Amino acid sequence: MNNQKSFKPLGDHNPVMVQRFGADPYALEYKGRIYIYMTLDDPELDESGAIIENTYSKIDKISVISSDDLVNWTDHGTVHAAGKNGQATWGNNSWAPAAAWKTIDGKDKFFLYFANSGNGIAVLEADSPVGPFTDPIGKALISRDTPTCAEVTWLFDPAVLMDDDGENYIYFGGGVPSDDKASDPGTARVAKLGKDMVSLDGDPKPIENVSYLFEDSGINKIDGKYFYSYCSNFSMTPEAEKEKGFQQGEIVTMVSDDPMGPFEMCNPVLKNPEHFFGLGGNNHHCMFKFQGQYYITYHSRILEEKMGFLKGYRSTSIDKLVINEKGEPSKSEGTRAGVKQLRNLDPYQETKAVTMSNAAGIATRQFGETARKFGSGDMIATGITEGGWIEVSGVDFGSEPARIVEINVTEAKELAEKLAASGDIEARRKSATDEDADEYGKHSDIDAKCLLGKVNVCVDSPENNPIEAVEILLAPAIKHDYGETLIKFSCRLDEKVSGVHDLYFVFEGEGYEFYSWKFLK
């Protein structure tokens, strides 16, 4: 079997996700995990099915992933945020999300802010960081009717600050009204949020003297100082770049002792992706702290480059944020290698198959009614093709060898429908014994024609001989809900494995979907 090639080299941790695009990342920490929310750059197609230039006009979903080690990321799907099938049906688009959480009336609530193109800010809320998200107010939180906002060129790109004193703030805006205002566009705004997080407590206030503002609001509180950050515009001359100390399309910071300013210029932080990867475009970031270290998440076009086209589709990366001796964010680097894994993964706890550091030849889809309806939540690995694989990095089996592997799969709905239409499914059911019908894991007597494929469990490389090849069989149950009923297969390992390894699930065959895995001692 020839294994498929990933669009990300083995060992690289950027971009963080390869199963789809994700731009304008925003990070939220909750209970020891980092959740990343991203604009879904879903490829636009022409009449022949070819990918065309990204116009951003059809974006109405927000991708969500999470991790507790910054290398293995769990896919939580795509929030149906805007448009006729989204929650904010009054808006067409969902650009550049920001997220926050707050305990209200004794319950943790989660808030997702995003832009309806450049014309206003929406807010959704949920009881979980992965949703389901719903629209609590049925209209824009911030619109051109909001005081001081009518003149904002681009009413978008929110960022949220949850201050230590319990007050909350939202930062937004951008754009250059005219060429003569490029050096000081005057289009950045800050407002205090209401206690409910879905209203404003007072009118937005202009953030003054934001030099060469373009877009991309950011906000962080570090050692009692407030750092507002943004992307500089593309009207800077070489003389202006020399004078200001930063370049066009670069992430720049300002600092203040007050969350609503005034702010003073501080440091440039991250150059345009073109500087690091040879491909330019807009620059969008979020700075965050996790387990004592500061990081910066941003997007680039390195995934679409590997896929063989250059149409403006962006993917998210994470690198360390440099904090200088003054305690200020300062010049940092974008890399393909990314960050080191912060902790090893425990293989003796059930792990979703959509938790991965790399993959090839697979896709993901919503699993269960709630996830299908709202877009985010539980997910399953699907679209499995011959030679596809999933990698999980830094798996610690401990000193005592693992002896058994368990996997949960479903039969792909498309296959089940095809077999049912042909009548072949009944023949396959009858080929199984009664004992097998009661216990899917005991399948040695099932006729070979029931075999859908194999999940080869490999360590250290997808090319290595598997420590076990788990056969995936057509379920012999009389009835079940195809595509949603989990079927467990378990096997004793041919080779015992201990210590820390990168783990690979390499697929043979098709017609099944992969939900979760777990090892036993």
Where do the structural domains in the chain lie, given as residue ranges? 23-330, 351-520
List per-residue pLDDT tens for the chain, 521 residues long.
789 999 999 999 999 999 999 999 999 999 999 999 999 999 999 999 999 999 999 999 999 999 999 999 999 999 999 999 999 999 999 999 999 999 999 999 999 999 999 999 999 999 999 999 999 999 999 999 999 999 999 999 999 999 999 999 999 999 999 999 999 999 999 999 999 999 999 999 999 999 999 999 999 999 999 999 999 999 999 999 999 999 999 999 999 999 999 999 999 999 999 999 999 999 999 999 999 999 999 999 999 999 999 999 999 999 999 999 999 999 999 999 999 999 999 999 999 999 999 999 999 999 999 999 999 999 999 999 999 999 999 999 999 999 999 999 988 766 666 665 665 555 554 444 444 444 434 444 444 446 788 999 999 999 999 999 998 876 644 344 556 788 899 999 988 899 999 999 999 998 899 999 999 99
Contact 354, 379 (CB under 8 A): yes
Best CATH choice for the domain 351-520 from the list 2.60.40.10, 3.40.50.2300, 2.30.110.10, 2.60.120.260? 2.60.120.260
Give me the pLDDT at residue 447, please: 44
CA atoms within 13 A on the CB side of 400: 6
Write out the two tokens for 287.
């700075």
* Tokens linked to 249: 């399309």
Asked whether 299 and 273 are in contact (CB, 8 A), the reply is yes
Specify whether 400 is catalytic: no
Residues contacting residue 196 through CB under 8 Å, at least 6 positions apart: 104
What residue type is 359 in one-letter code?
A
Neighbours of 327 (CB within 10 A): 12
On the CB side of 165, CA atoms within 13 Å amount to 6
Question: Rounded distance, CA 332 to CA 296, Å?
Answer: 8
pTM: 0.94
From the candidates 75, 215, 319, 391, which is the catalytic residue? 215
- The catalytic residue among 24, 60, 135, 157 is 24
pLDDT digits (tens, 9 = 90+) for 412-467: 766 666 665 665 555 554 444 444 444 434 444 444 446 788 999 999 999 999 99
CATH number of 23-330: 2.115.10.20
Nearest to 482 by CA among 511, 439, 505: 511
Q: How many CA atoms lie within 13 A of 504 on its CB side?
A: 24
Tell me, letter by letter, the H, E, C secondary structure of 379-419: EEEECCCCCCEEEEEEEECCCCCEEEEEEEEEECHHHHHHH
SS3 label, residue 341: coil
Annotated active-site residue 24? The verdict is: yes
